[in-house]
Structure 1
Amino acid sequence: MNVQIIADSACDLPNSIIEQYGIKRVPITVHLNDTDYLDAETIDPKQVYDAMRDGKAPKTSQVSPQTFKDLFEAYAQAGQSCIYLAFSSELSGTYQTAKMMQQEVLEQYPDFNLHIMDTHCASLGYGLVVLEAAKMAQSNHSLDTILEVATYYKDHVEHIFTVDDLEYLKRGGRVSKTAAFVGTMLKIKPLLHVEDGKLIPLEKIRGSKKVLNRMVDIMKERGEDFSQQTIAISHGDDVKRAEQLSTIIQNTFQPKEIIIHTIGSAIGAHSGPGTIALFFLNKPMK
């Protein structure tokens, strides 16, 4: 490949896609039970979700500066052009760390062609950006063309998601203790989306069955031409509901492809078990 695509593990892409398209994945660290794990490498998401169900509160930390420096130096020495597509800077400091290390490495290797892009995306919304860039790279498109496509995707990918229990958002400071208690008692399911890389509450739905249909309604309101799209659904250890959502979408829109995958340990440590997230382009690229 002319261009190496780099992503961090918050993209939540399945290993099969990572390997198929030669994506270099950099792991975020997950702290659980006084042990540090590497997301997508040394810990399974189910371990995190089971621990959260048992009342544990896993933490995460961004990719270390040294990890980025070692990686960038290795590609610089090999003369390999790279694009690092980063997890939203509004949700992690990983993008800023990568930018700092880029500056250091370029001082030593001024001819190194390294571009770093803040996708403002998360989970498989981020994954769709990475996947499209990796497809372009594998077909040996130019770096500028790949950047143009990645920019379009990051600007047009929608994130619509719900959590099963407001308790997990409360732990992460997303809602107050009172709101979490009342929401749980009334079986209220919050719908959220991502705007400029930030998690923004959208509306509240009473009853989990209504949530999936409302997600599809929002998809209809915001998107178009799904027959040419790859749709992504990620879930917090709840493949049954993810497949229910997939069936509704398949019957309603007949998209080109639907990817379903578990939300990884890094994102899942904050969203919790039972999360269901839907990703699509609001305007497909022509």
Structure 2
Amino acid sequence: MSVAVVTDSTSDLSPAWLSAHGVRTVPLMVEMGGESYRDRLDLSAEDFLRQLPAMRELPHTAAPSPGAFRTVYEEAFAAGAEAICSIHLAGGLSSTVRSAEVAARMVDGPVAVIDGESASLGTALLVWWATRRAAQGASLEQLGQELTALKGRLFAFAAPVTLEYLARGGRIGQAARLVGTILDMKPILLLEHGHFRPARKVRGERQIAPGMVASAAERLAEGTPVLAALGHSGSPERHQGLVDSINRRYRVRGWLDGVIGPVISTHVGPGAFGIILLPLSEAEDALWTTMTEEEEHE
């Protein structure tokens, strides 16, 4: 069975990566200055991050319509797909996955909609797995079972460098923003099972990366095989120390990196970054290694 993979723009995968892996994407919408823009199509991550600090009013974001998903699904079927695996931003953070579910009932053909229970490059890691397995000939049922197991272990640590955008978006109060700014306290947030919660606080931006590594060490044994990703505001070299620390502690089987897009940057602000880890079982690790070797010999 030929299975096409679909995602949404908040997976923060580059156009080149999406094209190379044959992944179709549906954009969320960003509304600012009285105009609506398709995330990453009409408005690039880089352009948005340059404009964001000067904005007096934060943009509004909106999920794609079911019709937008239906169009992409129909295009995939018309191009020869026999089934579609559609992987998306956590339903606890956006109604995107619900729009996809509505659209799945509107088309003639099997569509499995997966709530990735993550965001940004967390979703992207699941998409990466799905594209590789689909290329191997995995069925839609197999993909659904595998992604359900994987997303249950997926977790991310994210850190805004400034509390300003969380306060402006109503995620924290102005009093908390003021106290945090005065004390130079930086929150590290854990995203797991579709929801954010505080993981720890550190003092000063330089302590964020060590704090993330320490938090990961509390959850995951040294030497565990993982897929990993770095989401950032466009300066990956600033976070090389964090990448090196993760590489030393775990058996990293592959990395993704990407610029945090307009939808998520609206809430965390410029300068934010995060590390995402997807632990693999020994069987999954062996399967990933086999897929890597097959790709190298193609």
Give the CA deviation at 1:255. Answer: 2.3
Consecutive aligned runs of 4 or more in structure 1 exceeding 6 Å deviation = none
Question: Is 2:43 the counterpart of 1:43?
Answer: yes
CA distance in structure 2 between the aligned counterparts of 1:195 and 1:253, rounded to whole angstroms: 19
Residue 27 of structure 1 aligns with which residue? 27
Give the CA deviation at 1:248. Answer: 2.6
Match of 2:187 among 177, 180, 190: 190
Helix, strand or coil: the match of 2:46? helix
Question: Is 2:60 the counterpart of 1:59?
Answer: yes
Question: Is 2:127 the counterpart of 1:125?
Answer: no
Give the CA deviation at 1:99. Answer: 1.4
Mapping for residues 117-266 of structure 1, pairs under 5 Å: 117-224=114-221, 228-253=225-250, 255-266=252-263
Helix, strand or coil: the match of 1:89? coil
Give the CA deviation at 1:234. Answer: 0.4
Question: Is 2:86 the counterpart of 1:84?
Answer: yes
Give the CA deviation at 1:283. Answer: 4.9
Give the CA deviation at 1:69. Answer: 2.1
CA distance in structure 1 between the aligned counterparts of 2:184 and 2:281, rounded to whole angstroms: 35
Over aligned residue pairs, what C-alpha RMSD do you find?
A: 2.0
Q: State the number of aligned residues.
A: 281
Query: Residue 125 of structure 2 contacts residue 256 of structure 2 at CA under 8 Å; is this kept in 1?
Result: no
Match of 2:112 among 110, 115, 120: 115
Query: Residue 152 of structure 1 contacts residue 285 of structure 1 at CA under 8 Å; is this kept in 2?
Result: no
CA distance in structure 1 between the aligned counterparts of 2:41 and 2:223, rounded to whole angstroms: 33
Q: Deviations over 1:225-250 (max 9, x none)?
A: 65633210101234343223113323
Percent identical pairs in the alignment equals: 27
CA distance in structure 2 between the aligned counterparts of 1:258 and 1:9, rounded to whole angstroms: 19
Residue 288 of structure 2 aligns with which residue? none
Structure 1 counterpart of 2:177, one-letter code: A
Q: Could you tell me which runs of 5 or more consecutive residues in structure 1 were left unpaired when the two chains were aligned.
A: none
Query: Residue 21 of structure 1 contacts residue 138 of structure 1 at CA under 8 Å; is this kept in 2?
Result: no
Query: Residue 230 of structure 2 contacts residue 274 of structure 2 at CA under 8 Å; is this kept in 1?
Result: yes
Residue 289 of structure 2 aligns with which residue? none
CA distance in structure 2 between the aligned counterparts of 1:192 and 1:262, rounded to whole angstroms: 18
CA distance in structure 2 between the aligned counterparts of 1:121 and 1:130, rounded to whole angstroms: 12
CA distance in structure 2 between the aligned counterparts of 1:254 and 1:93, rounded to whole angstroms: 35
**Cα distance change of structure 1 residues 103 and 258 upon mapping to structure 2, 3 Å threshold:** closer
Give the CA deviation at 1:65. Answer: 2.0
CA distance in structure 2 between the aligned counterparts of 1:285 and 1:132, rounded to whole angstroms: 15
Structure 1 counterpart of 2:3, one-letter code: V
Structure 1 counterpart of 2:115, one-letter code: D
Is 222-231 or 49-58 further displaced after alignment? 222-231
Structure 2 counterpart of 1:37, one-letter code: Y
CA distance in structure 2 between the aligned counterparts of 1:226 and 1:59, rounded to whole angstroms: 42
Query: Residue 84 of structure 1 contacts residue 114 of structure 1 at CA under 8 Å; is this kept in 2?
Result: yes
Structure 1 counterpart of 2:55, one-letter code: G
Helix, strand or coil: the match of 2:243? helix
